[in-house]
Amino acid sequence: MLNLIQTEFLKLRRKNFIFLMLISSLLMPLLAVFYFGAAKKADITPMQFYKWSAYSYTSWIILPVVLGILGTMLLYDENQNDMLKQLWIIPISKLGYFLSKFVIVFLYSVLFMMITAVCSILAGILPGTIPLTADSVSYLFLKCFEIGALAPFAMLPVLAVAASQKGYILPICVTLVYTFLGFILLMVNMYVHPLSGMTAIVINDMPDIVMKQPIDLKSAFLCIGIWSIASIICADVTLRKRQ
């Protein structure tokens, strides 16, 4: 397994676009600068600022779309170049192959959120919008790590679709629809869709967030767990069938 992950890392060196995608982590911190700059409010707390720059749309929309594209890209390139046959000849475990891709997505997701955290701090402090406090910074990093670690699990269904397809069109469309569904379901039911479940876990202990009903962490974890296990099984079965 470690060999597979190492190989995946070596392959990444040839894909400059993957590093270019990290630029999208700057979007929300930049928008937060403009938003709070235009609002000209006094006494903006670090929590208010970070909610905008890191905890909201980044985890609801930007990160899932980026991870969906990344996952599709990792799986599609090998299909396109007909390299899978050679990999199966070595032989490589189908599940190991899928999980090695997942590990890359996981590490990328954590890196993406860490960059978002750093940019959020800079975007808040440099224009003087918020003060630099140890509590808010440590909380920001902790939450960003939480989002970065949970999002890849929530995106496993998309990765499974990408593994089952030779093309990239369907997985990409599924990524868009899946992310949109997760965003809309936040307001309807948080325990059906893994991305909504992830948000429930993230906002659980966040101050100043009022929910109609108390958040049920067990249901949220169960939702992510069921979808993740089902996705891994589906990916394994489809990869075996394609042999």
Partner 1 sequence: MKTLLWAERMKLRRSKIIWIALFSAVMVSVIVYMQGQFLFQGHRYVDEPGWFMTAAQSLGSIFVLPAIIALMGSYMICREEQGDTMKSLRLIPVKLSRLVGAKLVLAAFMSVLLYAFLFIITFSTEAALHFSLLKSAAVLNFLKIYLLQGICLFFAISPIIAIVAVLKKGYWISLIFAEVYSFAGLFVGMQNTARFIYPVTAAFCVSGYYESTLPQMITSILSLFICACLSLLILDRLNRKYNS
Task: Give me the 69-108 binding string for partner 1, x by CB under 8 A, dash otherwise.
Answer: x---x------x----------------------------
Residues 108-130, buried b or exposed e (16+ Cβ, 10 A)? bbbebbebbbebbbebbeeeebb
* Contact call for residue 22 and partner 1 (CB under 8 A): no
Distance, CA of 156 to CA of 97 (rounded, Å): 14
Angle between helices 94-125 and 134-154 (to 10 degrees): 150
Q: By rule CB under 8 A, what count of residues binds partner 1?
A: 33
Which has the closest alpha carbon to 41: 161, 121, 130? 130
Q: How far apart are CA 8 and CA 25, in angstroms?
A: 23
Please report, for residues 1, 11, 61, 139, the alpha-carbon distance to residue 6 in angstroms, rounded to integers and kept in the order given. 9, 9, 29, 32
Considering only the stretches 109-117, 119-127, 142-150, 183-191, report the one whose residues sit in contact with partner 1 under the rule CB under 8 A: 183-191
Least distance to partner 1, CB of residue 188, Å: 6
Burial of 199 (0-12, 13-18, 19+ CB in 10 A): buried
Q: What is the number of other CB atoms lying within 10 angstroms of the CB of residue 72?
A: 24
Residue from 17, 42, 82, 207 in contact with partner 1 (CB under 8 A): 17
172 near partner 1 (CB under 8 A): yes
For residue 116, the minimal CB distance to partner 1 (Å) is 14
- The interface region with partner 1, picked from 42-50, 85-93, 179-187, 201-209 by CB under 8 A, is 179-187
Out of 88, 139, 141, 183, name the contact with partner 1 by CB under 8 A. Answer: 183
**Minimum CB distance to partner 1, residue 65 (Å):** 5
Q: Minimal CA–CA distance to 1: which of 69, 87, 88, 100?
A: 100
Binding of partner 1 by 31 (CB under 8 A): yes
In the set 44, 181, 206, 234, which binds partner 1 (CB under 8 A)? 181
Shortest reach from residue 135's CB to partner 1, in Å:
28
Question: Is the distance from CB of 56 to CB of 143 less than 8 angstroms?
Answer: no
CB of 42 to partner 1, least distance (A): 20
In the list 35, 141, 145, 221, the residue contacting partner 1 (rule: CB under 8 A) is 35
Torsion of CA 12, 103, 155, 66, to 10 degrees: -30
Q: Which residues in this chain contact partner 1 in the complex, by CB under 8 A?
A: 17, 20-21, 24, 27, 31, 34-35, 38, 57, 61-62, 65-66, 69, 73, 80, 167-170, 172-173, 176-177, 179-181, 183-185, 187-188
